[in-house]
């Protein structure tokens, strides 16, 4: 490799366009692209744990979480500055987890949102004891929370039975433990807020500095298709082609990306559209992708083995590889800009349809989560669009 070329700063993405490969020919340097906002000015870390009741009566709650996961994350993509997000998923009321208090950590806190989606789609509605305090204990003590005073740490726990059923763990004690750790617990009761069992959820939220919400998990979800959804689906597929997977892990993660695209598409056009908007944002972490890894300075382009590159890139010369990466990144940014434009159009259309049809999503699972997220983030100094 030409020594002068090998000393180019890959993190600045000054990729070469060669008129030829012979030494001594003129080399034109492509202009640098600005880094993505997340790597340039990341906001404080946000850790969010979702704890869902998966007992037999809660199938509709799981379905709502699947349907609205990307819309919930999309709420965070609108915040300025862009936060750094990790999500964990826990399930409780599982008949196959008796020894663990009918609780299972489906995934720890991770930036891999596709993994969270994947685990959501594996959840079954089963019939175990619904110990709210036990799942909170598993989240508070078992997850690797960000160790920073600036971090925002949240648990959303949802269920339809009394929150004080656990014979071993007192929810008062675990609420105080959350408070000591700086973790806000938002309690979502699936049922009538006037029901006597709702009182324990209200108390739980108050003790853990969180909010209480009562939702209609069976009929509260509103899912609106928009004229922008078809183009968003096309752009979502197109942006996939700009990911250049690194090694075996990259290949695995790209396959996961495609599976979660398919899962979202099977749910509804609106779910697929929300996922497209997340994929176009800094919150969608693709550290397994060569372009993002270079931008974050996690890899050195010139130190990579051929086996770490996609098959299609392995036979390229240094100059061809640099040019391909540069052009692919330009294409991705172009796609992102269009997706963001369509996202604005989509949000306006949905708001108009909600008003025109008199639709009410005030008691939906995702509304409860998004409202609490927005309020906590604004307390931290984040700004969100006018509503």
11 pLDDT more than 60: no
Could you tell me if 293 and 249 are in contact, meaning their C-beta atoms sit under 8 angstroms apart?
A: no
- Residue range 164-192: mean pLDDT, rounded: 94
pLDDT value of residue 9: 40
Of the candidates 87, 83, 3, the one whose C-alpha atom is nearest the C-alpha of residue 48 is 87
Instruction: Quote the CA–CA distance of 306 and 158 in Å, as a whole number.
Output: 47
330 pLDDT more than 90: yes
Query: In the chain, what percentage of residues exceed pLDDT 90?
Result: 72
- Residue range 291-305: mean pLDDT, rounded: 92
128 pLDDT more than 80: no
pLDDT value of residue 10: 41
Residue 368 per-residue DSSP state: H
How confident is the model over 75-112, as pLDDT tens digits? Answer: 898 888 888 899 999 999 987 777 778 899 999 999 99
pLDDT value of residue 56: 77
Ramachandran region, residue 192 (left: φ > 0; alpha: ψ -120 to 50; beta: rest): beta
31 pLDDT more than 50: no
pLDDT value of residue 43: 66
pLDDT value of residue 13: 40
- Residue range 150-160: mean pLDDT, rounded: 95
CATH architecture of 44-222+360-379: 3-Layer(aba) Sandwich (3.40)
> CA separation (Å) from 82 to 40, 61, 78, 173?
10, 28, 8, 34
| DSSP H helical ranges for the chain | 3-6, 37-40, 59-77, 113-120, 132-142, 171-180, 198-207, 229-240, 247-267, 269-279, 290-295, 318-357, 365-379
1 pLDDT more than 70: no
pTM of the model: 0.86
- Residue range 140-167: mean pLDDT, rounded: 94
Residue-range domain boundaries for the chain: 3-34, 44-222+360-379, 229-357
pLDDT value of residue 40: 44
pLDDT value of residue 381: 87
Beta strands 103-110 and 84-92, pairing class: antiparallel
Which residues are 155's β-sheet partners? 49, 185
In the predicted model, what is the mean pLDDT of the chain?
A: 86
pLDDT value of residue 385: 64
- Residue range 125-131: mean pLDDT, rounded: 79
- Residue 97 phi/psi, 5-degree rounding, is -130, 40
- Residue range 291-319: mean pLDDT, rounded: 92
């Amino acid at each position: 490799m030409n020594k002068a070329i090998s000393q180019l700063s890959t993190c600045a993405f000054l990729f070469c366009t060669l008129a030829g490969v012979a030494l001594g020919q003129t080399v034109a340097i492509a202009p640098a692209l600005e880094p993505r906002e997340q790597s340039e000015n990341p906001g404080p870390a946000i850790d969010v744990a979702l704890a869902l009741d998966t007992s037999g009566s809660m199938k509709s709650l799981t379905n709502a979480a699947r349907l609205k996961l990307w819309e919930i994350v999309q709420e965070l993509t609108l915040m300025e500055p862009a936060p750094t997000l990790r999500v964990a998923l826990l399930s409780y009321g599982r008949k196959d987890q008796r020894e663990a208090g009918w609780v299972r950590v489906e995934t720890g806190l991770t930036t891999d949102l596709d993994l969270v989606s994947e685990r959501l789609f594996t959840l079954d509605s089963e019939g175990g004891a619904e110990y709210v305090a036990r799942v909170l204990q598993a989240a508070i003590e078992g997850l690797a929370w960000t160790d920073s005073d600036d971090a925002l740490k949240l648990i959303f726990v949802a269920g339809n039975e009394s929150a004080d059923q656990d014979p071993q763990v007192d929810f008062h004690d675990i609420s105080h433990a959350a408070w000591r750790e700086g973790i806000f617990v938002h309690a979502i009761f699936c049922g009538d807020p006037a029901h006597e069992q709702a009182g324990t959820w209200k108390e739980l939220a108050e003790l853990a500095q969180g909010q209480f919400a009562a939702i209609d998990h069976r009929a509260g979800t509103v899912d609106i298709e928009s004229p922008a959804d078809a183009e968003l689906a096309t752009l979502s597929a197109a942006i996939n082609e700009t990911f250049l997977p690194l090694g075996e892990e990259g290949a695995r993660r790209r396959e996961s990306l495609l599976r979660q695209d398919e899962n979202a598409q099977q749910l509804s056009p609106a779910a697929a559209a929300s996922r497209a908007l997340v994929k176009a944002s800094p919150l969608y972490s693709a550290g397994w992708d060569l372009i993002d890894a270079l931008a974050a300075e996690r890899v050195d382009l010139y130190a990579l083995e051929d086996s770490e590159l996609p098959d299609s890139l392995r036979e390229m010369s240094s100059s061809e590889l640099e040019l391909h990466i540069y052009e692919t990144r330009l294409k991705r940014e172009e796609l992102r800009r269009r997706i963001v434009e369509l996202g604005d159009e989509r949000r306006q259309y949905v708001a108009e349809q909600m008003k025109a049809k008199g639709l009410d999503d005030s008691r939906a699972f995702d509304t409860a989560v998004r409202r609490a997220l927005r309020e906590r983030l604004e307390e931290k100094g984040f700004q969100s669009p006018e509503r």
